[in-house]
Structure formats: structure tokens, C-alpha cells
Amino acid sequence: MKTIENEVMDVSDSLERAGVSFKGQRVLVTGGAGFLGSWVCDVLVRQGAAVTCIDNLTSGQLGNIEHLIKGEGFTYLNHDISEPIYFDSKFDTVFHMASRASPFEFAEHPIQILKANTLGIWVALGVAKEHGARFFYTSTSEVYGNPDPQFVPTPETYFGNVNSVGPRGCYDEAKRAGEAFVTAYNTQHGLDTRMVRIFNTYGPRMRSDDIYGRVVPRFIEQALKGKPITIFGDGNQTRSFTYITDQVEGILKLAGVEGLQNPVVNIGNNVEISVLQLAEAVISLTDSKSELSFHPLPIDDPDRRCPDISRAKELLGWKPKVGLEDGLRRFIEYMR
């Protein structure tokens, strides 16, 4: 079994072979104690960047970055990025990754989610503007809403089908607003900006608790404990699952490649499977006796999720390397 340290090393080495390195840069990462943010911090530190991480730990976890705090090249600040913050030292790149992202949190924390992607991105963009830094925003496939079938796989040119007053509106529309903020700073101030639309990502450090639990860690935890696998709807809705190392490599390629003009790029696995197929795969790989338990489908839950990754291949030479079965095996061993 590969450790997280081994996998971080693999991503760093792959980026350097592709000519992408953050060595010697000063980098700010908001939401750096989160699942995805902590992996990005790991790889940046591994490459020799000096990383400042901002996180107020509302959904991030200090355990994700404790090993970095104890080492060199990393500074942690407990701060809510929706509140102003100022720095004396200059940054070369700013990553805005701070936001709650679980559908289970949309009803409990809608205002925090909206603030992170409006006030928070405004603060982070202000830091980047002041320092003349490159700005990177982690947007989401949720900006597409529930796409028309003819737009699956979904290209970046699809404008979306989003319910702004539905239960997911706080996240979907906040991310769409965040993209508009980034575009405005690029247009008005000439800021070097990049945006990624992330599709379902899974892997070590992803939380599985009931408040935050996303579908992959929730299924694995239920299977390992022999509990019923909770499926919403009939399970025929589809998703495309990206292993964490593929996602981080795509993100850092998009952030590090020179000469891009405010691109927005899908980073995700283009293999589409149903939630029911995912549950069956998890049960098989864990050798579990869990049975399936069906529950009502949440309002506005997307029917399909599958990215068109042509732009990522063209601009970045990126495509996913880790197949679902391999990725699930790695994550299962981690969760054991």
C-alpha cells in the first residue's frame, strides 16, 4: 500500500517531468486544511514552495496539515477568509480553495458557503492583485446544475441549468458568482487567473462522518462496518469519480503552466458510472455483507455527471491515470 507521502512524491515528480514546478515560490492557499487543499499544500511544500495556509477549520481538519506545521516551508493561519487579511511579504500564486462542499451542509451552513465564494474570493483576489500574483480558483462541476442529456459529457462551454432558489443554490450559485469575480479581476485589472471545475474527487483524508460524508467514503465506511449502504433515489444517477492524485496533478498543472489566458478547465475522470454500480463495487472490494438501503432522492440532485476533458488534454496534456477499482482499493486500505 502506498502512503500519502509516497503518493505526494509521485505527483511532485510527475509535475516536474512535465516542466511544472513551484520551487522558490511563495504561495497562499485558502482552505488548505481541507481534503483537497491539504494535498495541494503537501505537493507544493514537496516541490520547495513556501506555503501559507489559511483555514478556519469549519470543515477542514488540523490533522490534515499537522505534519506540515512541524516541518519547514509551511505556515498555518487560523482565519476566516471572508474577513479582510493583509500580508507584508509578497505571494507569487494565490489558491482560493476555501468552501464547504458537502450537500449535507447546504441546509445547515448556506450563508457560510455563499460568503466563502463571494466575500472570501473578493478578499483573496485583493491579495493577489496587491501582490501581482497569479490567482487560481477551485470551482465545481455543480455550476452545470442538471445538464441536458445532449451536453453529457459536459464541456466548459455549457452555461448550466441551475436552480438558484433550490437547496443546492447556495453552493451552485456561489461558485458561479466566484467565477464571475475571477473573470472581472482578469478583465479590469489584467490579473493572471485560472479556474478549475472539479468533478467528484475521492481519496485519503476525505471525511466520512454523517455531517460531511460524501458518497465514496460513506459507502466504504458503511461496507467496512457491515451497515446498510444508503442510496438516494434508484441509484441510476451517474457520477464520474477522480482519484485525489489525478485531481491534484491536474490542478497544479493548470496553476503552473505559463501563457494561459483566464482558462476554465474541467478536471475529472471521464468514465461515467451509476451510484448503484459504485455501491456494488465497494461491497465487492471490501468483501462486505452490507445490503442496499434506498431513500428519497434529494431535490435538484443531478441526474448525470461526466466531464468533457478535451480542453485539459489540449492545454495541459492531462488525463486521469488511476482507474476506479485501483483508486477504491487504495482508499479502502486507508480507511481500514
Mind telling me the catalytic residues?
171
Q: What is the chain's percent helix, strand, coil content, to nearest 5?
A: 40, 15, 40
Helix/strand/coil (H/E/C) assignment for every residue in 186-228 = HHHHCCCEEEEEECCEECCCCCCCCCCCCHHHHHHHHHHCCCC
Q: How far is CA 227 from the centre of its chain?
A: 28
Nearest CA among 248, 263, 106, 241 for reference residue 172:
106
Whether the Cβ atoms of residue 194 and residue 250 lie closer than 8 Å to each other: no
CB-CB contact of 65 with 76 (8 Å) = yes
Contact criterion met (CB below 8 Å) for 161 and 147: yes
Amino acid at 86: Y
The DSSP code for 178 is H
Which H helix or E strand runs over 30?
strand 26-30
Cα separation, 90 vs 326, whole angstroms: 41
CA 121 vs CA 35, 192, 297: distances in Å: 19, 15, 32
Pick from 86, 99, 176, 90: which is nearest to 126 by CA? 86
